Amino acid sequence: MKNIEKRHIIDSNNLSGEFYFTSIVQEGYAYGLLNDSDIEDIKLQCLKLLSNKSELYNGGESSSIRIEAAESIMKSNLYTIGVYLKSLPDADFAVSELKMVSIPEMYQKGRALISGKVHSAKHIYKMAKANRLINLNYTYNATLDDNGLGIFFKLYNPDYEAHEVPVSIDYQLCNPITDLTGIEFIHKYLENLFLENEFCSYFNDDNIDHILCGYDEGYKDLLINIFEQVLTVALGCMLANSMVVKLDISEEKIRRLYNNLSKEDDYLLALKICEANEKILQELNISSLSLRRYIERSLPKITSNIVHAVKTNTLGKTIVSPSNPDLKPKIQFLSGVKMDDGKYRKFIEELLICRYSSDKLALIKEKVKSFGDIEDLLFDAQLSEEEITSVLGMLGDVEIAELIRRHPLKSDIQAVDLSEVEQALRLFLISYIDQLTADRQDHIFEILNHLIDD
Amino acid sequence: MSFEIMSISSVLIQKQAVAELEKCNDFTTQFRLTLSQRDAVELVETRTLALKSNGRIEFGGGVIEKIIREFCNSPYLSMHNYAETLHDLTDMFYYYKNETLELMSDDDLIKFMKKSFDGLCQGSLELLSGRELANMARNLRFGYTPEYLEGLACGEEDEDEEY
């Protein structure tokens, strides 16, 4: 008999989390729990509340108010009442409360709840900052900073704009929050962010950095969710019998894992991932119930990614092997000392009066001793395409790679902002590289990957 | 079912406003100014239209009552232009409420209107709207005080006279 649940007239699944008050009134009316006169009474009370709040908003100095401001205050009032109604045991009870209790009273109760939520959100924000990862991802850091989420607590106005989220949140969670707004949204976001941080704290920050580098070396500028990457690799490690805590799975192991997983159907694959998840929770000794639930909620998304990757033979892109950028060879390019300005001016004048290309090339070979001067003369000497190609032909692979690094081969759209000479140089550079053998091209691009900034 | 403000507010507000305007007659009869019920209804309609066209909403009696109380002792008001002037003043008030970016309270704006109407404008609604209120609103938006405007306006007039 313990399993008997009370039957509810209103299905809570039909209620909107964002516009709770309006949806509960609509559902109550649809199921006959509220009649026309109840609705009329609620509307009039809402109007009276709006009138009082508008007066406060204007500080008693103005009897009229802009419609946008009034609408915002009305939304804020309804949101605040909605927060109170949500706190009640169930939707049916909330509807009966709507009939019994006056709107201003419910508003006051909702307002008190919002104050409590703001206080609680501040506390969770502090905790989320305390267990933050040391990571280079820009959106993660910018969102957690005082100039990110911290701004919310300075700008949030629970009296007149309780339904607003006056802050831009760029870092996306693994489980996005879609049906909440105002302080409820921020509260839930911070809770989830804290849980994601907590899970990641079971791993070394450097190991997380390496798997993110394995995903993309430029991950610091990407809009990625760190928790999702970490959990995916952890699952991969568990499925491939690698050390989960080190997040270390080699490319070979990923290939073997693919061979194993590709034999399974979707259901068995999902089952295996679930089992692997259980083992991870045990191995990491994760006892927090809320964290376990959060991970379980994230599993369907990650499972679907892995299933899709297995189907398309791209498991290596979903479960990535770590890559340590510090271990990669680096090339620092030193361009040598440029000739002084006077000499350079004379040299260019001499070059400009040369009639034949062969003379120009001979002069360049004779006078130019540094890469910086070569780069300058490509812009200043008004050389033709053939002459530029000949000059490029004089350069080695490292110099060509450095030239590409300094003048990247961008698309036509990106090139719009460049000067004409710069556009021409890039165009000639592209056609020069295209005419090289594939091996030499690969070699140049390999060098380009290892070149570091000056 | 809608909880949008415009759909639930207008009828109730209008009834309340007409009643409040009729009450004003008790005070204005001493200046031989009265509004018939029809005048009151029309004034409230003007207010509704002015609010709508200026994107504003008002609860309760609103400003017409305040305008009446401020303007009823004006030497430029008599029974033959009373209702008509109130229509124009109401329209003007809401327009300049927005134009001043709500930097001026209702009472201050009405007082400014009255002072200009009786003073520099000498009862001309065109001058009040097109010059005095426009200058004042512009100065408020630029961070000056309304008084700054008055000084400037006098200066301009002096210059005009020289020609």
A398 touches B: beta carbon within 8 Å:
no
Say which residues have a Cβ less than 8 Å from residue A68's Cβ, sequence separation at least 6.
B55
pLDDT at position B102 is: 87
Contact A261, A310 (CB under 8 A): yes
pLDDT at position A196 is: 96
Contact A249, A319 (CB under 8 A): yes
Distance CA A414, CA B5 (A): 48
**Listed residue (A380, A239, A245, A395) closest to A318, CA to CA:** A239
- pLDDT band (50, 70, 90) for residue B11: low
Instruction: For residue range B43-89, list pLDDT tens digits in order.
Output: 989 998 999 999 998 876 678 999 999 999 999 999 999 999 999 99
Hey, what are B77's tokens? 């008001």
Q: Which residue has the higher pLDDT, A89 or B6?
A: A89
The answer to whether B1 contacts A39, with C-beta atoms less than 8 Å apart, is: yes
Percent of chain A with pLDDT over 70: 97
- pLDDT band (50, 70, 90) for residue B163: very low
Out of B3, B9, B60, the one facing A63 most closely (by C-beta) is: B60
Minimal Cα distance from B59: which residue of A? A51
Mutate to test the interface with B, among A63, A65, A78 (most CBs of B within 10 A): A63
Instruction: For residue range A73-83, list pLDDT tens digits in order.
Output: 999 999 999 99
pLDDT at B158 over 70: no
pLDDT at position A412 is: 62
Give the closest-approach CA distance of B124 to chain A in angstroms.
26
pLDDT at A291 over 80: yes
Residues of chain B contacting A21 with CB distance shorter than 8 Å = 3
pLDDT at position B60 is: 64
Percent of chain A with pLDDT over 90: 54
pLDDT at A270 over 80: yes
The answer to whether A43 contacts B5, with C-beta atoms less than 8 Å apart, is: no
Q: Which residue has the higher pLDDT, A24 or A413?
A: A24
Out of A21, A26, A43, the one facing B8 most closely (by C-beta) is: A43
Cβ neighbours, 10 Å, residue A229: 24
Distance CA A98, CA A87 (A): 13
Which parts of A240-382 fold into alpha helices (H)? 251-261, 266-283, 289-311, 315-318, 341-353, 357-367, 371-380
Mutate to test the interface with A, among B3, B49, B65, B109 (most CBs of A within 10 A): B3
- pLDDT band (50, 70, 90) for residue B13: low
Give the residue-averaged pLDDT of A235-264: 91
Out of A25, A51, A64, the one facing B51 most closely (by C-beta) is: A64
Instruction: For residue range A39-63, list pLDDT tens digits in order.
Output: 988 988 998 899 899 989 988 888 8
- pLDDT band (50, 70, 90) for residue A419: confident
Contact A107, A98 (CB under 8 A): no
pLDDT at position A430 is: 86
**What dihedral do alpha carbons A47, B56, A61, B62 form, nearest 10°?**
-70
Out of A29, A44, A54, the one facing B59 most closely (by C-beta) is: A54
Residue found by looking up tokens 């609705």 in the block: A39
Minimal Cα distance from A66: which residue of B? B56
Distance CA B149, CA B139 (A): 6
Q: Which residue has the higher pLDDT, A295 or A13?
A: A295
Out of B6, B56, B63, the one facing A65 most closely (by C-beta) is: B56
Residues of chain B contacting A30 with CB distance shorter than 8 Å = none
Q: Residue A413 half-sphere exposure, CB side, CA atoms within 13 Å?
A: 0
Instruction: For residue range A427-442, list pLDDT tens digits in order.
Output: 888 888 888 888 888 8
Range A259-262 contact pairs with CB under 8 angstroms and sequence separation of 24 or more: A261/A306, A261/A310, A261/A315, A262/A310, A262/A313
Minimal Cα distance from B109: which residue of A? A62
- pLDDT band (50, 70, 90) for residue A242: confident
pLDDT at A2 over 80: no
The answer to whether B6 contacts A67, with C-beta atoms less than 8 Å apart, is: yes
Give the residue-averaged pLDDT of B128-150: 85
pLDDT at A34 over 60: yes
Out of B5, B56, B107, the one facing A64 most closely (by C-beta) is: B56
A252 touches B: beta carbon within 8 Å:
no
Residues 46-85, chain B: which have Cβ within 8 Å of A?
Answer: 51, 55-63, 66
pLDDT at A332 over 80: yes
